Chain A
Amino acid sequence: MTEAFTATGRLGAARLVARAPILRSPLNVAALALIGLFAACAIFAPLIAPYDPLTQALASRLQPPSPEHWLGTDQLGRDILSRLLYGSRISLLIGLVVVASAGVFGTFVGVIAGYAGGLVDEALMRLTEVFLAFPALILAMAIAGALGPSLTNAIIALAAVTWAIYARLARGQILSLRRREFVEAARGIGASQFRIIARHLLPNAVAPLLVQASFDMGSVIIAAAGLSFIGFGAQPPTPEWGVMISEGRNFISTEPWLSLFPGLAILLAVGSFNLLGDGLRDVFDPRLSRAD
Chain B
Amino acid sequence: MRFLAFLARRIVGIAAVMIGVSIITFGISHVIPADPAVAALGDHATDAQIAAFRGEYHLDRPLPEQYVIYVNGILHGDLGKSIRTRRSVADDLADSFPATLELSFAALAVSLLVGIPAGIWSAIYRGRFPDVVVRIAALAGGSLPVFWLGLVVIGLFYYQLGWLPGGGRLDTFVSPPPTRTGLYVIDSLLALDLDALRSSVIHLVLPALTLGYFSTAVIARMTRSSMLEVLGQDYMRTARAKGLTERLVVVRHGLRNALIPTVTIIGLTFGSLLSGAVLTETIFSWPGLGRYATASAISLDFPAVLGVTLLAAVVYPVANLAVDIAYYWLDPRIQRD
Which residues of A does B touch, CB under 8 Å?
126-127, 129-131, 133-139, 141-148, 218, 222, 225-226, 229-232, 242, 245, 248-249, 252-253, 256, 259-260, 262-263, 266-267, 270-271, 274-275, 288, 291-292
Contact = CB atoms under 8 A, between A and B. Distances in A.
Contact of A274 (B17, B143, B274, B312): B143
Contacts of A130: 17, 20-21, 24
B31 interface: yes
B167 to A, nearest CB: 12
A17 to B, nearest CB: 21
B28 A142 contact: yes
Interface in B133-160: 139-140, 142-149, 151-152, 154-155, 159-160
A225 B302 CA distance: 23
A134 B151 contact: no
B271 interface: yes
A134 B146 CA distance: 19
B275 interface: yes
A143 B306 CA distance: 11
Given A126-B16, A135-B274, A230-B279, A145 B140 contact: no
Interface string B267-279: 0000110111011
Contacts, number: 151
B174 to A, nearest CB: 24
B66 interface: no
A147 B155 CA distance: 34
Interface of B: 13, 16-17, 20-21, 24-25, 28-29, 31-34, 139-140, 142-149, 151-152, 154-155, 159-160, 225, 228-229, 271-272, 274-276, 278-279, 282, 293-294, 297-298, 300, 302, 305-306, 308-309, 312-313, 316-317
A107 B305 CA distance: 30
A134 B309 contact: yes
Most chain B C-beta atoms within 10 Å of own C-beta, residue among A138, A242, A249, A256 = A138
B226 to A, nearest CB: 8
Given A226-B145, A245-B151, A232 B17 contact: no
Given A130-B24, A138-B309, A266-B148, A292 B225 contact: yes
Contacts of A245: 145, 147-148, 151
B159 to A, nearest CB: 4
Contact of A231 (B28, B31, B34, B298): B298
A230 B17 contact: no
A259 B20 CA distance: 40
Contact of A129 (B17, B151, B271): B17
Nearest to A254: B159
B143 A267 contact: yes
Given A271-B140, A274-B139, A133 B317 contact: yes
B278 A138 contact: yes
Contacts of A137: 275-276, 278-279
B278 to A, nearest CB: 6
A288 B309 CA distance: 36
B143 A138 contact: no
- From DSSP, what is the main secondary structure of chain A's interface residues? helix
B309 A142 contact: yes
7 closest A-B pairs (Cβ-Cβ)? A145-B297, A130-B20, A263-B148, A253-B159, A137-B275, A271-B143, A270-B143
A147 B31 contact: yes
Nearest to B34: A148
Most chain B C-beta atoms within 10 Å of own C-beta, residue among A142, A245, A266 = A142
B271 A135 contact: yes
Contacts of B160: 253
Most chain B C-beta atoms within 10 Å of own C-beta, residue among A136, A147, A291 = A291
Given A137-B278, A145-B297, A260-B152, 10 more contacts: A135-B274, A138-B275, A145-B298, A229-B279, A245-B148, A248-B151, A259-B152, A263-B148, A267-B140, A267-B144
Contacts of B154: 252
Given A134-B312, A218-B143, A230-B294, A147 B151 contact: no
A142 B25 contact: yes
A165 B316 CA distance: 16
Given A135-B316, A148-B33, A230-B278, A259 B148 contact: yes
18 contacts: A129-B20, A131-B24, A133-B21, A134-B24, A135-B272, A135-B316, A138-B308, A141-B294, A143-B28, A145-B300, A222-B145, A226-B146, A245-B147, A259-B151, A271-B142, A291-B225, A291-B228, A291-B229
Contacts of A266: 143-145, 148
B336 to A, nearest CB: 24
Contacts of A270: 142-145
A135 B312 contact: yes
A133 B22 CA distance: 11
Contacts of A127: 20
B3 to A, nearest CB: 22
Nearest to B154: A252
A232 B297 contact: yes
B294 A146 contact: no
Nearest to A129: B17
Contacts of A135: 271-272, 274-275, 312-313, 316
Nearest to B283: A249
Contacts of A231: 294, 298
